Structure 1
Protein backbone atom coordinates (compact mmCIF):
# COMPACT_ATOMS: atom_id res chain seq x y z
CA UNK A 1 0.00 0.00 0.00
CA UNK A 2 1.45 3.38 -1.00
CA UNK A 3 1.69 6.37 1.33
CA UNK A 4 -1.29 8.16 -0.27
CA UNK A 5 -3.54 5.15 0.27
CA UNK A 6 -2.28 4.83 3.83
CA UNK A 7 -3.03 8.49 4.55
CA UNK A 8 -6.48 8.11 2.96
CA UNK A 9 -7.25 5.16 5.22
CA UNK A 10 -6.05 7.07 8.29
CA UNK A 11 -8.42 9.90 7.41
CA UNK A 12 -11.33 7.46 6.84
CA UNK A 13 -10.79 5.85 10.23
CA UNK A 14 -10.27 9.21 11.94
CA UNK A 15 -13.40 10.84 10.52
CA UNK A 16 -15.47 7.73 11.20
CA UNK A 17 -14.32 7.86 14.79
CA UNK A 18 -15.14 11.58 15.09
CA UNK A 19 -18.66 10.90 13.81
CA UNK A 20 -19.34 7.80 15.88
CA UNK A 21 -17.96 9.43 19.05
CA UNK A 22 -20.27 12.41 18.38
CA UNK A 23 -17.33 14.81 18.13
CA UNK A 24 -18.88 15.79 14.79
CA UNK A 25 -22.61 16.46 14.74
CA UNK A 26 -25.04 15.13 12.18
CA UNK A 27 -25.46 17.80 9.49
CA UNK A 28 -22.19 19.55 10.38
CA UNK A 29 -20.24 20.90 7.42
CA UNK A 30 -16.82 19.41 6.65
CA UNK A 31 -14.35 21.73 4.95
CA UNK A 32 -11.70 19.84 3.02
CA UNK A 33 -8.92 22.22 4.12
CA UNK A 34 -9.94 21.78 7.74
CA UNK A 35 -9.95 17.98 7.43
CA UNK A 36 -6.54 18.15 5.78
CA UNK A 37 -5.28 20.22 8.71
CA UNK A 38 -6.69 17.75 11.27
CA UNK A 39 -4.74 14.88 9.70
CA UNK A 40 -1.71 16.79 8.37
CA UNK A 41 -2.60 15.68 4.88
CA UNK A 42 -2.90 17.08 1.38
CA UNK A 43 -6.28 17.58 -0.28
CA UNK A 44 -6.00 14.49 -2.52
CA UNK A 45 -6.24 11.80 0.23
CA UNK A 46 -8.90 13.91 1.95
CA UNK A 47 -11.07 13.82 -1.17
CA UNK A 48 -10.54 10.09 -1.55
CA UNK A 49 -11.47 9.52 2.10
CA UNK A 50 -14.61 11.62 1.77
CA UNK A 51 -15.69 9.59 -1.27
CA UNK A 52 -15.34 6.38 0.74
CA UNK A 53 -17.35 7.78 3.66
CA UNK A 54 -20.00 9.06 1.28
CA UNK A 55 -20.35 5.56 -0.18
CA UNK A 56 -20.80 4.26 3.36
CA UNK A 57 -23.54 6.82 3.99
CA UNK A 58 -21.71 8.67 6.75
CA UNK A 59 -21.34 11.91 4.81
CA UNK A 60 -23.20 13.62 1.98
CA UNK A 61 -22.01 15.92 -0.79
CA UNK A 62 -24.39 18.39 -2.42
CA UNK A 63 -23.91 21.17 -4.96
CA UNK A 64 -23.72 24.60 -3.33
CA UNK A 65 -23.83 23.03 0.15
CA UNK A 66 -20.52 21.20 0.19
CA UNK A 67 -19.74 18.15 2.29
CA UNK A 68 -21.60 17.45 5.50
CA UNK A 69 -21.95 14.70 8.05
CA UNK A 70 -25.04 12.83 6.87
CA UNK A 71 -28.33 13.26 8.63
CA UNK A 72 -30.61 10.31 9.23
CA UNK A 73 -32.92 9.33 6.38
CA UNK A 74 -35.68 7.25 7.99
CA UNK A 75 -36.43 5.32 4.78
CA UNK A 76 -32.75 4.41 4.44
CA UNK A 77 -32.67 3.47 8.11
CA UNK A 78 -35.61 1.13 7.58
CA UNK A 79 -33.91 -0.49 4.60
CA UNK A 80 -30.69 -0.98 6.56
CA UNK A 81 -32.65 -2.53 9.41
CA UNK A 82 -34.50 -4.99 7.17
CA UNK A 83 -31.34 -6.12 5.38
CA UNK A 84 -29.42 -6.34 8.67
CA UNK A 85 -32.11 -8.52 10.18
CA UNK A 86 -32.12 -10.83 7.15
CA UNK A 87 -28.37 -11.20 6.71
CA UNK A 88 -27.16 -11.13 10.31
CA UNK A 89 -29.62 -13.71 11.58
CA UNK A 90 -28.66 -16.04 8.73
CA UNK A 91 -24.97 -15.52 9.50
CA UNK A 92 -25.30 -16.25 13.20
CA UNK A 93 -27.36 -19.36 12.53
CA UNK A 94 -24.54 -20.69 10.34
CA UNK A 95 -21.92 -19.65 12.90
CA UNK A 96 -23.66 -21.42 15.77
CA UNK A 97 -22.57 -24.88 14.63
CA UNK A 98 -19.03 -23.69 13.91
CA UNK A 99 -18.10 -22.13 17.27
CA UNK A 100 -16.54 -24.12 20.07
CA UNK A 101 -17.25 -23.53 23.74
CA UNK A 102 -13.64 -22.44 24.13
CA UNK A 103 -14.02 -19.82 21.40
CA UNK A 104 -17.25 -18.60 22.95
CA UNK A 105 -15.32 -17.35 25.97
CA UNK A 106 -14.01 -14.58 23.73
CA UNK A 107 -17.57 -13.33 23.23
CA UNK A 108 -18.16 -13.43 26.98
CA UNK A 109 -15.01 -11.38 27.59
CA UNK A 110 -16.22 -8.85 25.03
CA UNK A 111 -19.49 -8.55 26.93
CA UNK A 112 -17.57 -7.83 30.13
CA UNK A 113 -15.57 -5.10 28.38
CA UNK A 114 -18.79 -3.75 26.87
CA UNK A 115 -20.35 -3.52 30.33
CA UNK A 116 -17.39 -1.47 31.56
CA UNK A 117 -17.53 0.90 28.58
CA UNK A 118 -21.27 1.42 29.09
CA UNK A 119 -20.76 2.07 32.81
CA UNK A 120 -18.04 4.61 31.98
CA UNK A 121 -20.28 6.37 29.47
CA UNK A 122 -17.69 5.87 26.72
CA UNK A 123 -19.92 5.80 23.64
CA UNK A 124 -17.15 5.19 21.12
CA UNK A 125 -15.70 2.27 23.09
CA UNK A 126 -19.19 0.90 23.59
CA UNK A 127 -19.96 1.00 19.88
CA UNK A 128 -16.58 -0.49 19.00
CA UNK A 129 -16.99 -3.37 21.45
CA UNK A 130 -20.57 -3.94 20.36
CA UNK A 131 -19.32 -4.32 16.79
CA UNK A 132 -16.57 -6.70 17.89
CA UNK A 133 -19.12 -8.81 19.78
CA UNK A 134 -21.44 -9.14 16.79
CA UNK A 135 -18.66 -9.80 14.31
CA UNK A 136 -17.22 -12.48 16.56
CA UNK A 137 -20.15 -14.52 15.22
CA UNK A 138 -20.34 -13.17 11.67
CA UNK A 139 -16.62 -13.80 11.16
CA UNK A 140 -17.34 -17.48 11.81
CA UNK A 141 -20.35 -17.95 9.54
CA UNK A 142 -18.25 -19.65 6.87
CA UNK A 143 -19.19 -17.15 4.14
CA UNK A 144 -16.57 -14.37 3.98
CA UNK A 145 -18.46 -12.45 1.27
CA UNK A 146 -21.59 -12.41 3.44
CA UNK A 147 -19.54 -11.15 6.37
CA UNK A 148 -18.17 -8.33 4.20
CA UNK A 149 -21.66 -7.42 3.02
CA UNK A 150 -22.84 -7.21 6.63
CA UNK A 151 -19.84 -5.02 7.47
CA UNK A 152 -20.76 -2.55 4.71
CA UNK A 153 -24.30 -2.14 6.03
CA UNK A 154 -23.04 -2.00 9.61
CA UNK A 155 -20.81 0.98 8.81
CA UNK A 156 -23.79 2.82 7.30
CA UNK A 157 -25.93 2.40 10.43
CA UNK A 158 -26.05 5.55 12.64
CA UNK A 159 -24.56 4.00 15.77
CA UNK A 160 -23.60 7.43 17.12
CA UNK A 161 -27.30 8.19 17.65
CA UNK A 162 -27.97 5.15 19.81
CA UNK A 163 -28.12 7.10 23.06
CA UNK A 164 -29.22 4.32 25.36
CA UNK A 165 -30.83 4.86 28.73
CA UNK A 166 -29.70 2.76 31.68
CA UNK A 167 -32.83 0.68 31.13
CA UNK A 168 -31.91 -0.02 27.50
CA UNK A 169 -28.30 -0.80 28.47
CA UNK A 170 -29.58 -3.49 30.84
CA UNK A 171 -31.92 -4.82 28.18
CA UNK A 172 -29.10 -4.98 25.63
CA UNK A 173 -26.97 -6.92 28.11
CA UNK A 174 -29.74 -9.50 28.52
CA UNK A 175 -30.27 -9.71 24.76
CA UNK A 176 -26.56 -10.27 24.15
CA UNK A 177 -26.43 -12.93 26.85
CA UNK A 178 -29.41 -14.72 25.33
CA UNK A 179 -27.54 -14.87 22.03
CA UNK A 180 -24.46 -16.33 23.71
CA UNK A 181 -26.54 -18.88 25.61
CA UNK A 182 -28.26 -20.03 22.40
CA UNK A 183 -24.91 -20.47 20.66
CA UNK A 184 -23.57 -22.39 23.65
CA UNK A 185 -26.53 -24.75 23.34
CA UNK A 186 -25.77 -25.10 19.61
CA UNK A 187 -29.29 -23.94 18.75
CA UNK A 188 -29.14 -22.01 15.45
CA UNK A 189 -32.85 -21.18 15.43
CA UNK A 190 -32.74 -19.74 18.94
CA UNK A 191 -29.58 -17.75 18.18
CA UNK A 192 -31.21 -16.26 15.08
CA UNK A 193 -34.42 -15.52 17.02
CA UNK A 194 -32.64 -13.72 19.86
CA UNK A 195 -30.50 -11.73 17.43
CA UNK A 196 -33.58 -10.80 15.41
CA UNK A 197 -35.30 -9.46 18.54
CA UNK A 198 -32.15 -7.58 19.50
CA UNK A 199 -31.86 -5.88 16.09
CA UNK A 200 -35.57 -5.04 16.07
CA UNK A 201 -35.53 -3.51 19.55
CA UNK A 202 -32.52 -1.38 18.70
CA UNK A 203 -34.03 -0.16 15.44
CA UNK A 204 -37.41 0.75 16.93
CA UNK A 205 -35.81 2.71 19.76
CA UNK A 206 -33.50 4.58 17.36
CA UNK A 207 -36.26 5.28 14.82
CA UNK A 208 -38.64 6.57 17.47
CA UNK A 209 -36.01 8.81 19.07
CA UNK A 210 -35.09 10.16 15.62
CA UNK A 211 -38.64 10.86 14.40
CA UNK A 212 -40.23 11.67 17.76
CA UNK A 213 -43.12 9.33 17.04
CA UNK A 214 -44.01 5.66 17.16
CA UNK A 215 -42.58 3.72 14.21
CA UNK A 216 -44.05 0.43 13.04
CA UNK A 217 -41.78 -2.50 12.30
CA UNK A 218 -41.05 -2.43 8.53
CA UNK A 219 -40.35 -6.16 8.70
CA UNK A 220 -44.10 -6.57 9.11
CA UNK A 221 -45.58 -7.12 5.62
CA UNK A 222 -48.54 -4.89 6.50
CA UNK A 223 -46.31 -1.98 7.52
CA UNK A 224 -45.72 0.94 5.15
Structure 2
Protein backbone atom coordinates (compact mmCIF):
# COMPACT_ATOMS: atom_id res chain seq x y z
CA UNK A 1 0.00 0.00 0.00
CA UNK A 2 1.32 3.44 -0.87
CA UNK A 3 1.86 6.08 1.77
CA UNK A 4 -0.96 8.23 0.38
CA UNK A 5 -3.35 5.26 0.44
CA UNK A 6 -2.39 4.45 4.03
CA UNK A 7 -2.92 8.09 5.01
CA UNK A 8 -6.37 8.07 3.39
CA UNK A 9 -7.18 4.86 5.22
CA UNK A 10 -6.18 6.42 8.56
CA UNK A 11 -8.30 9.50 7.84
CA UNK A 12 -11.30 7.28 7.11
CA UNK A 13 -10.69 5.23 10.28
CA UNK A 14 -10.48 8.37 12.43
CA UNK A 15 -13.66 9.88 11.02
CA UNK A 16 -15.71 6.67 11.17
CA UNK A 17 -14.54 6.00 14.72
CA UNK A 18 -15.61 9.53 15.67
CA UNK A 19 -19.03 9.07 14.04
CA UNK A 20 -19.60 5.77 15.86
CA UNK A 21 -18.42 6.91 19.28
CA UNK A 22 -20.49 10.09 19.18
CA UNK A 23 -23.57 8.13 18.13
CA UNK A 24 -23.83 9.85 14.73
CA UNK A 25 -23.54 6.36 13.22
CA UNK A 26 -25.97 4.26 15.22
CA UNK A 27 -25.20 0.80 16.53
CA UNK A 28 -26.34 -1.72 13.92
CA UNK A 29 -26.27 0.79 11.05
CA UNK A 30 -25.18 -0.57 7.67
CA UNK A 31 -21.90 0.73 6.22
CA UNK A 32 -21.90 0.11 2.44
CA UNK A 33 -18.30 0.35 1.33
CA UNK A 34 -19.08 1.86 -2.07
CA UNK A 35 -21.07 4.65 -0.40
CA UNK A 36 -18.26 5.26 2.07
CA UNK A 37 -15.73 5.44 -0.77
CA UNK A 38 -17.88 8.06 -2.47
CA UNK A 39 -18.38 9.97 0.78
CA UNK A 40 -14.64 10.17 1.45
CA UNK A 41 -13.60 10.67 -2.18
CA UNK A 42 -11.49 7.51 -2.02
CA UNK A 43 -11.06 4.25 -3.86
CA UNK A 44 -12.50 1.10 -2.33
CA UNK A 45 -9.07 -0.13 -1.13
CA UNK A 46 -8.51 2.31 1.78
CA UNK A 47 -12.16 1.87 2.78
CA UNK A 48 -11.71 -1.90 3.02
CA UNK A 49 -8.50 -1.44 5.01
CA UNK A 50 -10.32 0.97 7.34
CA UNK A 51 -13.09 -1.57 7.88
CA UNK A 52 -10.54 -4.23 8.87
CA UNK A 53 -8.95 -1.92 11.43
CA UNK A 54 -12.32 -0.93 12.91
CA UNK A 55 -13.36 -4.58 13.03
CA UNK A 56 -10.19 -5.37 15.01
CA UNK A 57 -11.22 -2.64 17.47
CA UNK A 58 -14.66 -4.21 17.79
CA UNK A 59 -16.44 -1.16 16.37
CA UNK A 60 -17.75 -2.80 13.19
CA UNK A 61 -18.65 -6.34 12.22
CA UNK A 62 -18.49 -7.93 8.77
CA UNK A 63 -21.29 -10.41 8.13
CA UNK A 64 -21.28 -12.88 5.20
CA UNK A 65 -23.72 -11.79 2.49
CA UNK A 66 -24.87 -8.84 4.64
CA UNK A 67 -21.92 -6.48 4.45
CA UNK A 68 -20.47 -4.37 7.25
CA UNK A 69 -22.43 -2.91 10.15
CA UNK A 70 -21.64 -0.84 13.20
CA UNK A 71 -21.14 -3.46 15.91
CA UNK A 72 -23.40 -3.78 18.90
CA UNK A 73 -21.65 -3.20 22.21
CA UNK A 74 -19.90 -6.40 23.36
CA UNK A 75 -20.21 -6.05 27.12
CA UNK A 76 -17.70 -8.82 27.84
CA UNK A 77 -15.10 -7.03 25.71
CA UNK A 78 -15.92 -3.72 27.40
CA UNK A 79 -15.57 -5.40 30.81
CA UNK A 80 -12.00 -6.38 30.01
CA UNK A 81 -11.16 -2.92 28.73
CA UNK A 82 -12.68 -1.38 31.86
CA UNK A 83 -10.53 -3.48 34.21
CA UNK A 84 -7.31 -2.63 32.35
CA UNK A 85 -8.29 1.04 32.06
CA UNK A 86 -8.82 1.22 35.79
CA UNK A 87 -5.38 -0.24 36.47
CA UNK A 88 -3.52 1.79 33.85
CA UNK A 89 -5.25 5.14 34.26
CA UNK A 90 -5.10 5.25 38.04
CA UNK A 91 -1.37 4.48 37.83
CA UNK A 92 -0.86 7.14 35.15
CA UNK A 93 -2.67 9.64 37.36
CA UNK A 94 -0.46 8.76 40.33
CA UNK A 95 2.57 9.59 38.22
CA UNK A 96 0.98 12.72 36.75
CA UNK A 97 0.11 14.05 40.21
CA UNK A 98 3.73 14.99 40.90
CA UNK A 99 4.35 16.35 37.40
CA UNK A 100 1.46 18.72 36.73
CA UNK A 101 1.64 22.48 37.12
CA UNK A 102 -0.76 25.07 38.46
CA UNK A 103 -1.36 26.06 34.86
CA UNK A 104 -2.36 22.48 34.01
CA UNK A 105 -4.98 22.59 36.75
CA UNK A 106 -6.28 25.91 35.44
CA UNK A 107 -6.54 24.42 31.94
CA UNK A 108 -8.39 21.39 33.37
CA UNK A 109 -10.94 23.66 35.06
CA UNK A 110 -11.44 25.59 31.83
CA UNK A 111 -11.95 22.37 29.87
CA UNK A 112 -14.54 21.27 32.43
CA UNK A 113 -16.41 24.57 32.03
CA UNK A 114 -16.37 24.15 28.26
CA UNK A 115 -17.66 20.59 28.65
CA UNK A 116 -20.54 21.80 30.79
CA UNK A 117 -21.44 24.43 28.20
CA UNK A 118 -21.30 21.85 25.40
CA UNK A 119 -23.59 19.52 27.35
CA UNK A 120 -26.11 22.32 27.85
CA UNK A 121 -26.32 22.91 24.11
CA UNK A 122 -26.49 19.12 23.54
CA UNK A 123 -23.27 19.04 21.51
CA UNK A 124 -22.28 15.46 22.26
CA UNK A 125 -19.35 15.45 19.83
CA UNK A 126 -17.83 18.43 21.63
CA UNK A 127 -18.43 16.81 25.02
CA UNK A 128 -16.57 13.69 23.96
CA UNK A 129 -13.62 15.63 22.55
CA UNK A 130 -13.36 17.90 25.59
CA UNK A 131 -13.60 14.88 27.89
CA UNK A 132 -10.69 13.31 26.01
CA UNK A 133 -8.67 16.53 26.26
CA UNK A 134 -9.39 16.74 29.98
CA UNK A 135 -8.07 13.28 30.77
CA UNK A 136 -5.14 13.28 28.37
CA UNK A 137 -3.98 16.61 29.74
CA UNK A 138 -2.95 14.49 32.73
CA UNK A 139 -1.97 11.27 30.95
CA UNK A 140 0.41 13.32 28.81
CA UNK A 141 2.18 14.26 32.07
CA UNK A 142 2.63 10.69 33.36
CA UNK A 143 6.20 10.52 32.06
CA UNK A 144 5.72 7.27 30.10
CA UNK A 145 4.59 8.08 26.56
CA UNK A 146 4.03 4.39 25.75
CA UNK A 147 1.62 4.10 28.69
CA UNK A 148 -0.30 7.12 27.44
CA UNK A 149 -0.49 5.51 23.99
CA UNK A 150 -1.81 2.25 25.45
CA UNK A 151 -4.52 4.20 27.27
CA UNK A 152 -5.41 5.98 24.05
CA UNK A 153 -5.86 2.63 22.32
CA UNK A 154 -8.27 1.46 25.02
CA UNK A 155 -10.24 4.70 24.74
CA UNK A 156 -10.67 4.11 21.02
CA UNK A 157 -12.45 0.82 21.72
CA UNK A 158 -14.65 2.08 24.58
CA UNK A 159 -18.37 2.72 23.82
CA UNK A 160 -18.52 6.42 24.70
CA UNK A 161 -21.67 6.82 22.59
CA UNK A 162 -23.66 4.80 25.14
CA UNK A 163 -22.75 7.20 27.96
CA UNK A 164 -23.04 10.37 25.90
CA UNK A 165 -26.77 9.80 25.58
CA UNK A 166 -27.26 10.07 29.34
CA UNK A 167 -27.76 13.54 30.84
CA UNK A 168 -27.58 11.99 34.31
CA UNK A 169 -24.19 10.47 33.52
CA UNK A 170 -22.90 13.75 32.10
CA UNK A 171 -23.88 15.56 35.30
CA UNK A 172 -22.24 12.92 37.48
CA UNK A 173 -19.12 12.97 35.33
CA UNK A 174 -18.87 16.73 35.83
CA UNK A 175 -18.78 16.28 39.60
CA UNK A 176 -16.26 13.44 39.34
CA UNK A 177 -13.97 15.59 37.20
CA UNK A 178 -14.06 18.28 39.88
CA UNK A 179 -13.15 15.67 42.49
CA UNK A 180 -10.15 14.62 40.40
CA UNK A 181 -9.03 18.24 40.06
CA UNK A 182 -9.44 18.85 43.81
CA UNK A 183 -7.43 15.72 44.62
CA UNK A 184 -4.66 16.84 42.26
CA UNK A 185 -4.75 20.30 43.78
CA UNK A 186 -4.32 18.81 47.26
CA UNK A 187 -1.31 16.76 46.22
CA UNK A 188 -2.81 13.60 47.75
CA UNK A 189 -1.67 10.89 45.33
CA UNK A 190 -3.90 8.20 46.85
CA UNK A 191 -6.94 10.47 46.59
CA UNK A 192 -6.09 11.17 42.94
CA UNK A 193 -5.97 7.44 42.16
CA UNK A 194 -9.17 6.74 44.09
CA UNK A 195 -11.06 9.56 42.38
CA UNK A 196 -9.90 8.28 39.00
CA UNK A 197 -10.95 4.71 39.79
CA UNK A 198 -14.39 5.84 40.98
CA UNK A 199 -14.84 7.86 37.80
CA UNK A 200 -13.96 4.92 35.55
CA UNK A 201 -16.17 2.53 37.56
CA UNK A 202 -19.17 4.86 37.41
CA UNK A 203 -18.75 5.17 33.65
CA UNK A 204 -18.69 1.40 33.21
CA UNK A 205 -21.65 1.01 35.58
CA UNK A 206 -23.63 3.48 33.46
CA UNK A 207 -22.97 1.36 30.38
CA UNK A 208 -24.12 -1.86 32.04
CA UNK A 209 -27.24 -0.16 33.36
CA UNK A 210 -28.04 1.22 29.93
CA UNK A 211 -27.58 -2.13 28.19
CA UNK A 212 -28.95 -4.50 30.84
CA UNK A 213 -31.32 -2.34 32.85
CA UNK A 214 -29.33 -2.78 36.05
CA UNK A 215 -25.82 -2.17 37.35
CA UNK A 216 -23.74 -5.33 37.28
CA UNK A 217 -21.34 -6.22 40.13
CA UNK A 218 -17.98 -4.55 39.72
CA UNK A 219 -15.73 -6.98 37.76
CA UNK A 220 -12.70 -5.24 39.31
CA UNK A 221 -13.66 -7.02 42.54
CA UNK A 222 -11.55 -10.18 42.80
CA UNK A 223 -14.59 -12.26 43.80
CA UNK A 224 -16.67 -11.24 40.75
CA UNK A 225 -16.47 -13.30 37.56
| Normalised TM-score (structure 2) | 0.94
Per-residue CA deviations over 1:125-161 (Å, capped at 9, x if unaligned) read 1111111111111111011111111111110000011
Give the equivalent residue in structure 2 for 1:208: 209
The alignment status of 1:122 with 2:123, answered yes or no, reads yes
Unaligned runs of 5+ residues in structure 1 are none
How many corresponding residue pairs?
A: 224
Give the equivalent residue in structure 1 for 2:97: 96
Alignment of 1:55-204 (within 5 A): 55-204=56-205
Q: Say which is worse superposed, 128-137 or 169-178, in terms of deviation.
A: 169-178
Unaligned runs of 5+ residues in structure 2 are none
Give the equivalent residue in structure 1 for 2:36: 35
* SS of aligned partner of 2:69: strand
Tell me, in whole angstroms, the C-alpha distance in 2 between the residues paired with 1:214 and 1:179.
23
Q: Say which is worse superposed, 27-36 or 5-14, in terms of deviation.
A: 5-14
| Normalised TM-score (structure 1) | 0.94
Tell me, in whole angstroms, the C-alpha distance in 2 between the residues paired with 1:6 and 1:217.
40
CA RMSD across the alignment: 1.5
- In the TM superposition, residue 20 of structure 1 has moved relative to its aligned partner by 2.1
* SS of aligned partner of 1:57: coil
Tell me, in whole angstroms, the C-alpha distance in 2 between the residues paired with 1:136 and 1:88.
12
